[in-house]
């Protein structure tokens, strides 16, 4: 085992000669033939991996490596089961090796090898595996099962491992030469036979192979008749699994994060046998693969093709029963139900395109599944929630989205009956919730949690139905499922449920209160009849009222505040809906009275990050009106905070109350600044702040320079304030505002503090320099030191960071290239007297003679010994540093060479010589590109030991 693993590493690192690898290959095959049956499985596996790695890496170097499949058949032809098993394991590992990239092999070379292997050997392996399946029917526990090998073959055909969470891979591109084997009925049947007679994991592998066979491309089949027979065979096999006569009583103990619960799994065909499961599907992996197999029927086949199969009626009813029972086992089957719901959603969306009179039976089966889904979600609430919220579908966002992605299409399929069913179960739950809300008697807390959870599920379901309105093209000519919800949503005030309500409003806004909403919509006629909501203005005002309620009442829930502000911004950013908002008294109140007394979440530090979003939306609404007067009046609450801070004596400026007030102010102003997207709107904010209130910022950063909690929000505001996006910072030619703004932002001298603050400070300066609103010649002309001092501070901030910390951050290649390039052009190759800045840099390099050599050494180490993602970016500073001093480069080269064995040094000298071939002493783009090409070849040849 030690020898095998050591040799595997040597092979992967390209340390061994071709002849030595050929000798190892032949020795391993011989050793496995003579000693393999007596070895431990892990030793055999390691030796086989070594053999396959040698084969892959030497595939194009000698044709002997391509004989590995024939060598494997030699093991299969021997009489002992142990040799047969070794032969299968070799084939299995070989396919796996060819399918996976290796660290020591360039990706392009891996692809060439894999493609050649597929063309020359894969079909033979597939045929050997099928023959082995037939030969091994009497020995179901054979190690190195050909099922695993065939699964690997399918992986390699597709090119990568199939993504279980996606059906986007569509079909598997089986080569045309394989079609004789693929369409042979015995090929599909043997996998169904193995599933029915094997224990997991072999039975799971049989299902995996069936999933892939169900995904083969249409062109493999010579005609529609052949394809229909293939489909019929797949449907017959899955039908037999669904109606199998073998049943076993089972109980699953499912270990949750904090507790264990026993669940009776009810995944059975519609036979009334109670808590029993068809044999094989009691294994969760088998069950999951079987759900994937059923899902493939509609991904790869049309509904009309399914209908043409004789057993369709029986099959669709069995699948419906299986789906219903699966939904009931919500904890055990939650990750697998996705594929079943996907199948049904694709079936119902295909109905409009169906031709002919053959009944699809979906009208009969889909409503039962719809009701089963809702009932199962209710049962999940009644079963109680685990302590780990990730196990609760209502709090697991990804799982919730997966389940609600497909289900609404089922509801839309028979919308009237689905709506009536939802309303039927919603009414008593809402009534119970209302009774609990107005009752003075303290009831069972668990009962209230169940009611809230059931309401939350209903709201999420209704929101998901609304979301697909435009996709389905449906109109509300039936009784809609949401008026009752509108009628009573004011009574709903719990966090989990309120998040669902906000989701509902977001989806409703996108479909019915957006730019396409019309007064004459049939929707509003129906809502007026039922609820008195006569038009979209009344409806929109109700939504705004909910936003106002949440912002006032949910200080303790950052998540609810965040979702609410997202909805608020979606409404404000819509062209029509934003204009409509300005008509409502509620919105006018928010714009003019955004104080902590009216909105307590502004004072709660847990929600302070949401303040920027809140004021971004307020700014968006304010700037819709071209009114300086309204802007100033809306900024009055912030002005009062500014005046209070400005009047605070220096001695009291370091208190917590001042700190949190200032942090909030910076986040608020940043939100307003983000909303300025034109010269006009930015001018309103600039004139309001400058010059009267800018000294407050300098005062704050002076008192709190050692507190990143304060400096970071301040710097983020300034970074936004000086950011010339959409050309909003465009002053008149005679205006000094650009220069004055630059002077203000260059006053921040905090280079001795945290790196985050330094980074944001440099971002501010970078944006100020690149904003194109300052004529920098003016500073020198008038003797203004603002620019020089800002650049001096920026350099000091950069140099204040220890070199070890700079080198630990691997994304500074561009900065190094800029400095080294500046030194090369202005010192090394300067044709005129250097500037003062160049002399300062040269003096610093003299004081720190190891600075450039250490950086160059680090870059070489990254290129030669690590798997770097972007050699192009590293090559740029490397060339600049090499050209600055050839002696430094030669010393580094000698240091690297002496660290290598003597027998390799001459080869590595040649590698270094090639690195500088055709590279001249310049930093023009063509010369840089040539060095980059040389570096790529240098790295490859250097690492091939």
The pLDDT tens digits of the residues spanning 204-222 come to: 888 888 988 888 888 888 8
pLDDT at 753: 47
Lowest mean pLDDT among 471-480, 603-612, 757-766: 471-480
CA distances from 656 to 114, 226, 597 (A): 64, 79, 19
> 450 near 374, Cβ under 8 Å?
no
Q: How confident is the model at residue 497 (pLDDT cuts 50, 70, 90)?
A: low
The pLDDT tens digits of the residues spanning 104-116 come to: 788 888 889 988 9
User: Would you state the structure tokens that stand for residue 424, as one six-digit string?
Assistant: 């039927």
Q: How many CB atoms lie within 10 A of CB 38?
A: 9
Q: Is the pLDDT of residue 267 over 60?
A: no
What sign does the CA torsion over 927, 928, 931, 936 have?
negative
- Which residue did the predictor score with more confidence, 942 or 499? 942
pLDDT at 790: 84
| 735 backbone dihedrals φ, ψ, rounded to 5° | -85, 135
Cα(49)–Cα(546) distance, integer angstroms: 63
> 686 near 676, Cβ under 8 Å?
no
Lowest mean pLDDT among 360-374, 544-558, 656-670: 544-558
Cα(138)–Cα(145) distance, integer angstroms: 13
Lowest mean pLDDT among 89-98, 219-228, 306-315, 746-755: 746-755
The string of DSSP codes covering 697-717 is HHHHHHHSTT-HHHHHHHHHH
Three-state secondary structure call for residue 254: strand
Q: How confident is the model at residue 668 (pLDDT cuts 50, 70, 90)?
A: very high
Q: Is the pLDDT of residue 699 over 60?
A: yes
The pLDDT > 90 percentage for the chain reads: 22
Cα(61)–Cα(19) distance, integer angstroms: 10
> 851 near 835, Cβ under 8 Å?
no
The string of DSSP codes covering 417-435 is HHHHHHHHHHHHHHHHHHH
pLDDT at 809: 58
The pLDDT tens digits of the residues spanning 171-197 come to: 677 777 888 888 899 889 988 988 888
Section 80-103 average pLDDT: 88
pLDDT at 331: 67
pLDDT at 162: 43
User: Would you state the structure tokens that stand for residue 445, as one six-digit string?
Assistant: 């807390």
Highest mean pLDDT among 195-199, 504-508, 766-770, 878-882: 878-882
The pLDDT tens digits of the residues spanning 775-809 come to: 888 888 888 888 888 888 888 877 777 665 665 55
Three-state secondary structure call for residue 163: coil
Q: How confident is the model at residue 2 (pLDDT cuts 50, 70, 90)?
A: very high
pLDDT at 353: 86
- What is the DSSP code (8-state) at residue 395? T
At CA 152, angle to CA 150 and CA 156, rounded to 5?
A: 115
Nearest of 256, 257, 283, 278 to residue 268 by alpha carbon: 278
Section 98-107 average pLDDT: 83
> 935 near 883, Cβ under 8 Å?
no
The pLDDT tens digits of the residues spanning 374-418 come to: 888 887 776 655 444 445 667 777 777 777 888 888 888 887 788
Mean pLDDT of the chain: 79
> 294 near 339, Cβ under 8 Å?
yes
Cα(142)–Cα(149) distance, integer angstroms: 13
Lowest mean pLDDT among 485-499, 660-674, 736-750, 839-853: 485-499
Residues whose CB is less than 8 angstroms from the CB of residue 278 and which lie 6 or more positions away in sequence, other chains included: 241, 242, 243, 244, 246, 247, 267, 268, 269
The pLDDT tens digits of the residues spanning 617-642 come to: 999 999 988 788 999 999 999 999 99
Lowest mean pLDDT among 143-152, 232-241, 326-335, 754-763: 143-152
Three-state secondary structure call for residue 753: coil
Section 362-384 average pLDDT: 84
Cα(213)–Cα(230) distance, integer angstroms: 10
User: Would you state the structure tokens that stand for residue 741, as one six-digit string?
Assistant: 């703004």
**What do you get for the CA distance between the two ends of the chain, in Å?**
24
Nearest of 819, 698, 704, 816 to residue 754 by alpha carbon: 704
Residues whose CB is less than 8 angstroms from the CB of residue 159 and which lie 6 or more positions away in sequence, other chains included: none
pLDDT at 869: 60
Q: How confident is the model at residue 496 (pLDDT cuts 50, 70, 90)?
A: very low
CA distances from 363 to 317, 320, 347, 367, 417 (A): 12, 12, 11, 7, 11
Q: How confident is the model at residue 231 (pLDDT cuts 50, 70, 90)?
A: very high
- Which residue did the predictor score with more confidence, 856 or 137? 856
- Which residue did the predictor score with more confidence, 827 or 574? 827
Nearest of 96, 93, 92, 80 to residue 36 by alpha carbon: 80
Cα(337)–Cα(286) distance, integer angstroms: 13
pLDDT at 485: 52
Highest mean pLDDT among 149-163, 290-304, 468-482, 519-533: 290-304
User: Would you state the structure tokens that stand for residue 349, as one six-digit string?
Assistant: 């969306």
| 248 backbone dihedrals φ, ψ, rounded to 5° | -135, 140
- Which residue did the predictor score with more confidence, 343 or 437? 343
Cα(357)–Cα(249) distance, integer angstroms: 42
The pLDDT > 70 percentage for the chain reads: 78
The pLDDT tens digits of the residues spanning 716-732 come to: 998 888 888 777 766 66
pLDDT at 726: 72
Cα(230)–Cα(630) distance, integer angstroms: 72
pLDDT at 281: 82
- Which residue did the predictor score with more confidence, 44 or 501? 44
The domain locations on the chain are 850-944
- Which residue did the predictor score with more confidence, 865 or 384? 865
Q: Is the pLDDT of residue 758 over 50?
A: yes
CB neighbour burial string for 558-583, b if at least 16 within 10 angstroms, e if fewer: bbbbbbbbbbbbbbbebeebbebbee
How much is the CA Rg of the chain, to the nearest whole Å? 36
Cα(343)–Cα(362) distance, integer angstroms: 12
User: Would you state the structure tokens that stand for residue 466, as one six-digit string?
Assistant: 């609304």
């Amino acid at each position: 085992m030690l020898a095998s693993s050591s040799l595997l590493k040597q092979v992967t690192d390209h340390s061994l000669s071709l002849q030595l690898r050929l000798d190892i290959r032949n020795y391993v095959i011989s050793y496995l033939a003579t000693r393999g049956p007596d070895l431990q499985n892990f030793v055999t596996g390691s030796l086989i991996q070594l053999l396959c790695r040698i084969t892959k890496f030497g595939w194009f170097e000698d044709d002997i490596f391509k004989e590995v499949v024939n060598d494997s058949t030699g093991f299969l032809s021997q009489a002992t089961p142990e040799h047969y098993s070794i032969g299968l394991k070799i084939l299995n590992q070989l396919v796996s090796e060819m399918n996976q990239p290796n660290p020591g092999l360039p990706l392009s070379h891996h692809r060439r090898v894999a493609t050649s292997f597929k063309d020359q050997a894969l079909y033979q392996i597939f045929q050997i595996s099928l023959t082995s399946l037939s030969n091994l029917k009497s020995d179901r526990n054979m190690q190195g099962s050909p099922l695993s090998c065939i699964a690997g073959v399918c992986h390699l055909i597709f090119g990568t491992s199939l993504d279980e969470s996606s059906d986007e891979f569509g079909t598997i591109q089986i080569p045309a030469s394989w079609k004789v084997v693929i369409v042979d009925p015995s090929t599909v049947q043997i996998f169904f036979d193995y599933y029915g007679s094997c224990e997991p994991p072999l039975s799971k592998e049989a299902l995996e192979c069936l999933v892939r066979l169900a995904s083969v491309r249409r062109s493999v089949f010579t005609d529609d008749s052949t394809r229909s027979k293939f489909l019929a065979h797949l449907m017959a096999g899955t039908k037999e699994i669904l109606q199998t006569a073998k049943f076993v009583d089972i109980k699953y103990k499912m270990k949750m994060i904090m507790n264990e619960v026993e669940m009776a799994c009810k995944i059975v065909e519609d036979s009334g046998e109670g808590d029993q499961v068809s044999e094989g599907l009691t294994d969760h992996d088998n069950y999951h693969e079987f759900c994937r197999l059923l899902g493939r029927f509609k991904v790869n086949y049309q509904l009309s093709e399914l209908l043409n199969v004789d057993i369709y009626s029986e099959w669709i009813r069995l699948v419906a029963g299986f789906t219903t029972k699966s939904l009931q086992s919500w904890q055990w089957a939650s990750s697998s139900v996705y594929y079943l719901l996907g199948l049904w959603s694709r079936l119902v969306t295909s109905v409009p395109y169906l031709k002919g009179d053959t009944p699809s039976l979906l009208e009969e089966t889909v409503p039962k599944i719809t009701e089963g889904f809702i009932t199962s979600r209710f049962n999940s609430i009644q079963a109680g929630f685990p302590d780990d919220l990730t196990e609760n579908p209502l709090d697991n966002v990804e799982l919730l989205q997966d389940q609600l992605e497909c289900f609404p299409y089922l509801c839309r399929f028979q919308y009237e009956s689905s709506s009536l069913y939802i309303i039927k179960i919603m009414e008593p739950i809402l009534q119970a919730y209302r009774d609990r809300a107005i009752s003075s008697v303290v009831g069972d807390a668990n009962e209230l949690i169940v009611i809230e959870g059931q309401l939350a599920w209903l709201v999420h379901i209704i929101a998901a139905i609304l979301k697909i309105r435009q996709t389905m093209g449906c109109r509300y000519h039936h009784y809609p499922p949401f008026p009752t919800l509108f009628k009573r949503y004011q009574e709903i005030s719990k966090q989990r449920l309120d998040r669902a309500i906000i989701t509902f409003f977001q989806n409703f806004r996108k479909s019915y209160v957006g730019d396409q909403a019309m007064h004459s919509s049939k929707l509003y006629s129906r809502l007026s009849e039922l609820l008195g909501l006569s038009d979209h203005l009344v409806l929109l005002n109700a939504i705004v009222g909910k936003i106002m309620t949440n912002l006032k009442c949910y200080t303790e829930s950052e998540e609810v505040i965040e979702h609410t502000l997202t909805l608020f911004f979606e409404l404000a950013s819509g062209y029509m809906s934003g204009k409509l908002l300005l008509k409502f008294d509620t919105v006018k109140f928010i714009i003019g009275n955004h104080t902590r007394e009216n909105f307590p979440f502004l004072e709660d530090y847990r929600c302070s990050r949401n303040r920027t979003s809140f004021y971004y939306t307020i700014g968006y609404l304010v700037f819709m009106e071209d009114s300086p007067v309204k802007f100033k009046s809306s900024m009055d609450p912030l002005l009062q905070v500014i005046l209070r801070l400005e009047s605070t004596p220096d001695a009291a400026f370091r208190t917590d109350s001042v700190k949190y007030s200032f942090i909030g102010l910076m986040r608020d102003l940043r939100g307003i600044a983000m909303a300025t997207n034109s010269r006009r709107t930015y001018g309103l904010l600039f004139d309001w702040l400058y010059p009267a209130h800018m000294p407050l910022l300098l005062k704050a950063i002076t008192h709190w320079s050692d507190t990143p909690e304060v400096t970071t929000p301040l710097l983020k505001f300034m970074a936004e304030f000086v950011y010339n996006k959409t050309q909003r910072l465009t002053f008149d030619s005679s205006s000094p505002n650009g220069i004055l703004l630059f002077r203000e932002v260059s006053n921040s001298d905090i280079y001795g503090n945290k790196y985050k603050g330094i980074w944001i400070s440099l971002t501010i300066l970078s944006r100020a320099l690149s904003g194109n609103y300052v004529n920098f010649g003016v500073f020198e002309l008038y003797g203004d030191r603002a620019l020089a001092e800002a650049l001096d501070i920026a350099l000091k901030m950069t140099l204040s960071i220890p070199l070890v910390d700079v080198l630990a951050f691997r994304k500074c290649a561009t900065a190094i290239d800029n400095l080294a390039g500046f030194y090369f052009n202005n010192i090394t190759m300067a044709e005129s007297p250097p500037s003062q800045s160049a002399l300062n840099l040269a003096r610093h390099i003299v004081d720190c003679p190891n600075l450039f050599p250490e950086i160059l050494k680090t870059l070489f180490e990254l290129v030669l010994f690590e798997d770097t993602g972007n050699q192009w970016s590293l090559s740029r500073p490397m060339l600049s540093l090499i050209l600055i001093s050839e002696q430094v480069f030669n010393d580094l080269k000698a240091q690297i060479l002496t660290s290598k064995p003597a027998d390799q040094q001459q080869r590595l000298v040649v590698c270094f010589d090639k690195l500088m071939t055709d590279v001249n002493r310049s930093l023009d783009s063509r010369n840089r590109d040539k060095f980059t090409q040389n570096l790529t070849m240098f790295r490859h040849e250097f690492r091939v030991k």
